[in-house]
Structure 1
Amino acid sequence: MSIKKRYVALIAAVGIGVGWLTLGGTAAIMHYTSSTEFCVSCHTMQIPYEEYEGSVHFSNAKGIRAECADCHIPSDPVDYVITKICASKDIYHEFVTGKIDDVDKYEAHRLEMAETVWKQFRENDSATCRSCHDFDAMDEYSQSEDAAKKHAYAREHSQTCIDCHKGMAHFAPELEMDSEAFDHLMEFTEQTPSDAKVVYPVDYIKAEDLGTINPTAKLVVNSAQGDTRQVTLDAYQMKGAEQVLYIGQGQRAIVASLTDKGQQALVVGDFEADRYGNEWRSAQLNAEITSPVVDSLEPIWSYAEELDTVYCSTCHAKIDAHHFTVNAWGPVAKGMGDRTDISKHDLELLTKFFQNHAKDVTGH
């Protein structure tokens, strides 16, 4: 019996040893290959590493650093193993295909790589973000008013972190609208019937020497001859800012900018104070235009929604137009537009889309 016990003890010891070497060794390898040092040892990881070094996740006032694994490897055992297996493709591309082994190749694939990561974050509800950041742990009184509102909105609409916080540790892809989209919009101007009763500019247009009419302004056609139209713009003027016309009383969405002659040519009503003490009056501008126009706002709004997808949704989830008022959308759109390379014209179309669908315009 004692001999058998020795065999059993020996087998058990060998089993433990083998188990320790295999499981322990595997765990050690998995742990080592999750380190930031290992992640950035590949040549192709130098670009994202340099971006990470300039982010708040690398250096901040509180001295808390999020390493590569903290953001890219979920702690759930199953997701952990799946992520490690999927990461083997990085080794393959590093040593075999050279898919992103220079700056040009990296930029060409930046969007593809970003969308892959964003998809993973959406599917696991930004699990790695939530390992450090949690709604219930947030002190909303220490946040800016705008941040607190957005977090409340995110909770209410079941948004996940990555919906708004793209480009946190690495640069977000910089996209540009395909010129074909604008060319397609301009094709609609060629289909505008000569007898259209109402038209809308797709670009800033000159109203003789009276001023400039903004895109999407509603123009009632009084008469037309070829491409020349006599139009009327009904708008509002605020005392102290007589050089511009607004879409409605108390609604600061600019539809035209006037010269001194244009201000003199207006047909105006009497000033009336709004609830904030600002004085407004109706103002009608009659002018001649020759620029391309459309007889429906639908193609302009379709183009604006494409702009929203390209310039806004690259960094955060789409924000419903009725989330803000018409007056709030102006500075919000401008502030966001300044962070991109969107053109002045496209930003104006996008802003007008938001303002015309704002909650105090549509009634949402």
Structure 2
Amino acid sequence: MTTAAIDASRHITESQCPQPEKTGWIDRHFQLQAKGTHIRQEVMAGITTFLTMAYIIFVNPQILSAAGMDAQAVFVTTCLIAAIGSIAMGLFANLPIAMAPAMGLNSYFAFVLVGGMGLAWQTGMAVIFWGSLLFAAVAVFRTYIITSIPLSLRIGIATGCGLMIALVGLHNAGIIVATPSTMVTIGDVRSIPFVLGCASFLLMMVLVQRGFKAAVLISIVAITFVGWLLGDVEYQGIASLPPSIAPVFGQLDLMGALDISLIGVIISVMLVSLFESAGTFVAVTDKAGLADETGNYPNATKSLFVDSLSSAAGAFMGTSSVCPYVESATGVVEGGRTGLMAVVVGLLFLLAIFFSPLAGMIP
């Protein structure tokens, strides 16, 4: 066979053989092909997840302001720590799980530690800080802990936090008020906050039942607009440069929180954070097909370290404990399978920092 014939044969053979597809850094780091997904799918899943959990950037400042914290500063720190936690979860644990300040623990901080026990908010934040570091210390036992939490206990903790949040919401809207005879009673049904609160809840429920992924966010925006029309909301603008976080950043009373009487409270914060996080991690990774029948999932130890250290960083910055959000399951339903989805959520939280005037208008 001539040299020309050999070269022609080699050319035909190479053209017929499938060539390995070139992959970029994003594909290699997040293992997109291996997990049957692609960049566009992960981006859409991240946007969907952000829309379902964006309410936290409005709600968290209102709750923590009840403890005497600056609401505008907390708005910025809420966005910052949600961005840091979500991006870290995506980059280091490669899980489709977004992070943000926990609903439940923020109410516990504002209405129990500060409102009930009379702690200064600086001391209460330090309690969250030490509890988060304790959480990080026990994260090395993650396999035993996650598989040992009974399902009934996971459900009970989540239900208890939900009932507490509901009580706080009804009180803030004026739907229920305190009374000496029965502890709680119905509020003034003719007041604008009462009407707006009921309308917001009903609208939210209708949207949820109809499958709107941003039901909570749509309800907040719609009722804020109605409140503005009724004169209950003052227009403050839509976007601006971020407010200063100096009023809350690094203001912890670390030594004051180490008082012997608060040791049990620190342990309680650690346990609630651990149980809530473990349950959410297992639920979302199971939805994504990443967890086995015993609840083990990839990079579990890394995920708990990211969670606990993000909580400690959040407390130092001036916001309550950070946790994985079960709303991440909406992104999983949209096809999210990797940490790229969480990174997209984090980037969107960074953009949200510039919308603090809008947050200040929420009734």
The TM-score with structure 2 as length reference comes to: 0.23
Name the one with the larger helix percent: 2
The TM-score with structure 1 as length reference comes to: 0.23
Name the one with the larger strand percent: 1
